[in-house]
């Protein structure tokens, strides 16, 4: 028996999922420790309930797809509208180098995923799902690309698998980041701060903390440090700034809709959400560089995070868990290999390329976080390291900028190239 829900009821159920997720994250320490997003915590419970209703009584639910698509496009537009290339100057050469290091790993992640999927007899496109789509991309990208793979390429269960893989990545990224950083720091001969009580060390720590505080407060002025990695922070926005920001979102979405139609059947054909991201980037940088427009980042942040939460809640409500039964074993093998590759890459590439120093070790912990999970995991990893050793202003300046938006732009480009390869 199929039950179809319109937009109103879909929105009601989505908000109930978010409220359930908030309750679970506050009450279950494991969910809080590994930064499991509220939509994922509540959504997985909802998905299990939907599965039980289907298994026992044969009920299936069709939720309003238009609302889900709209919130997905809003989220990707928010990433584009946050991607201020003028901030590259703030990060300097290390930011550029770290972006290149991360970009190379995205390609490696997809190569490993596709190779392993083919070797295990799976569709190579599922290798992308167990690669950068869900791991580097996270839940938002997993849901967006999952829909594309299902509708345009006929890959059954891509969305369900993507959400499951992204959830695994959040946990795995949180588990491996700290130990890898500690091993690298031990190689440098540094000891945990509490063990060093002599005056010179105290002075060193105090100086570093002062530098971090200055950097942190400077970046908080324009919202850079709060974009996406701190969704629960209070944002002071006004009605007028919200309306201005919604106009920017409307422009990005209109651009996405127009380009999807114009580029159809050409070599520039891209998924609509990629055009939404691109539209946001173009709007952001055109307005700030040419017209010196004062972009209201806090409003973009709020609307983007709200859109992502609603999209994830609706995507998880629509999961068909029964589609994953035959994939569980091979996918687990691929994910274990991906985790091992992540550890090796940050140990032998990220750490060495970024300078083989303390900042490089903290950056490596952050890379584990969003290379397997998401930017909040990266921030949590780095905080765990810096709380135990020394502050790292450089890492806390670079990782949020790369993890919050630059990595999504690179990932979308890499994935578009991979899906067009002849052997896919």
Q: What are phi and psi of 3, to 5 degrees?
A: -120, 120
User: In angstroms, rounded to a whole number, what is the distance separating the alpha carbons of residues 393 and 395?
Assistant: 6
As for how many domains the chain has, the answer is 1
Return left, alpha or beta for 16; rule: phi > 0 is left, psi -120 to 50 is alpha, else beta.
alpha
| pLDDT value of position 415 | 93
Q: Which residue has the tokens 């990224």?
A: 173
pTM over 0.75: no
Tell me if 314 is assigned to some domain: no
Q: Give residue 386's pLDDT.
A: 85
Contacts of 17 (CB under 8 A, 6+ apart): 39, 42, 43, 46, 313, 316, 317
CA distance 80 to 408: 9
Query: Is the residue at 221 inside a domain?
Result: yes
Nearest CA to 397 out of 365, 368, 359 is that of: 359
The enclosing H or E element of 70 equals helix 65-82
pLDDT of residue 164: 87
- Whether 174 maps to a domain, the answer reads yes
Question: 389 in a domain, yes or no?
Answer: yes
Supply 176's token pair: 């491996």
Looking at residue 204, what is its pLDDT? 43
Nearest-angstrom CA–CA distance, 75 and 305: 7
Instruction: Give me the pLDDT at residue 232, please.
Output: 55
Report if residue 45 sits inside a domain.
no
Cα distance between residue 404 and residue 304, in whole Å: 12
Q: 267 lies in a domain?
A: yes
Distance between CA atoms of residues 41 and 399, nearest Å: 25
In this structure, is residue 124 part of a structural domain? yes
Q: What pLDDT is stored for residue 327 in this prediction?
A: 79
Which residue, 137, 121, 1, 151, is CA-closest to 75? 137
Describe the chain by its helix, strand, coil percentages, rounded to 5: 80, 0, 20
Rounded mean pLDDT for each run of 10 residues along the chain, 424 residues in total? 89 95 89 75 88 87 89 89 75 88 97 96 94 91 90 88 88 86 87 49 40 38 44 71 94 95 85 89 91 87 89 84 76 94 96 94 92 80 83 83 80 91 80
The pLDDT score that the predictor gives to residue 35 is: 59
**H or E element at residue 419:** helix 407-419
Query: What's residue 227's pLDDT?
Result: 44
Q: What's the pLDDT score for residue 233?
A: 59
For the purposes of burial, counting CB atoms within 10 Å of the CB of 228, is it exposed (0-12), middle (13-18) or buried (19 or more)? buried
d(CA 363, CA 349): 12
Determine the structural domain holding residue 181 and report its residue range. Answer: 67-295+324-419
Do residues 312 and 36 make contact, with C-beta atoms less than 8 angstroms apart?
A: no
* Within-domain flag for 41: no
What the block records as the tokens of 156 is 């059954």
């Amino acid at each position: 028996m199929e039950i179809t829900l319109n937009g109103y009821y879909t929105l009601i159920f989505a908000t109930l999922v978010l409220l359930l997720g908030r309750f679970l994250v506050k009450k279950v320490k494991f969910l809080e420790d590994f930064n499991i997003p509220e939509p994922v915590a509540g959504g997985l419970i909802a998905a299990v309930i939907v599965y039980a209703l289907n298994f026992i009584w044969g009920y299936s639910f069709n939720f309003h797809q238009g609302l889900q698509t709209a919130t997905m496009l809003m989220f990707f537009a928010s990433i584009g509208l946050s991607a201020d290339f003028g901030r590259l100057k703030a990060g300097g050469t290390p930011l550029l180098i770290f972006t290149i290091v991360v970009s190379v790993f995205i390609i490696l992640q997809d190569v490993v995923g596709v190779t392993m999927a083919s070797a295990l007899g799976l569709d190579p496109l599922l290798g992308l799902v167990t690669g950068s789509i869900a791991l580097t991309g996270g839940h938002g990208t997993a849901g967006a690309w999952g829909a594309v793979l299902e509708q345009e390429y006929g890959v059954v269960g891509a969305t369900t698998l993507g959400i499951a893989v992204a959830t695994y990545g959040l946990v795995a990224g949180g588990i491996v980041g700290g130990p890898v950083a500690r091993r690298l720091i031990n190689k440098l001969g540094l000891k945990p701060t509490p063990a060093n009580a002599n005056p010179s060390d105290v002075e060193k720590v105090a100086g570093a903390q002062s530098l971090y505080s200055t950097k942190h407060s400077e970046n908080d002025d324009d919202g850079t440090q709060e974009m996406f990695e701190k969704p629960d922070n209070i944002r002071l926005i006004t009605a007028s700034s919200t309306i201005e920001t919604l106009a920017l979102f409307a422009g990005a979405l209109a651009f996405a809709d127009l380009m999807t139609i114009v580029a159809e059947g050409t070599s520039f054909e891209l998924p609509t959400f990629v055009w939404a991201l691109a539209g946001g980037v173009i709007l952001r940088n055109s307005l700030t560089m040419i017209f010196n427009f004062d972009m209201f980042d806090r409003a973009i942040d709020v609307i983007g995070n709200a859109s992502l939460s609603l999209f994830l809640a609706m995507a998880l409500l629509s999961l068909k868990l029964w589609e994953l039964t035959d994939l569980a074993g091979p996918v687990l093998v691929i994910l274990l290999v991906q985790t091992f590759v992540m550890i090796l890459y940050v140990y032998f590439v990220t750490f060495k390329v970024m300078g083989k120093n303390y900042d490089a070790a903290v950056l490596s912990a952050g890379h584990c976080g969003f290379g397997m999970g998401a930017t909040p995991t990266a921030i949590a990893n780095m905080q765990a390291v810096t709380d135990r050793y020394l502050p790292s202003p450089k890492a806390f300046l670079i990782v949020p900028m790369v993890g919050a938006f630059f990595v999504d732009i690179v990932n979308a480009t890499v994935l578009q190239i991979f899906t067009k390869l002849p052997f896919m």
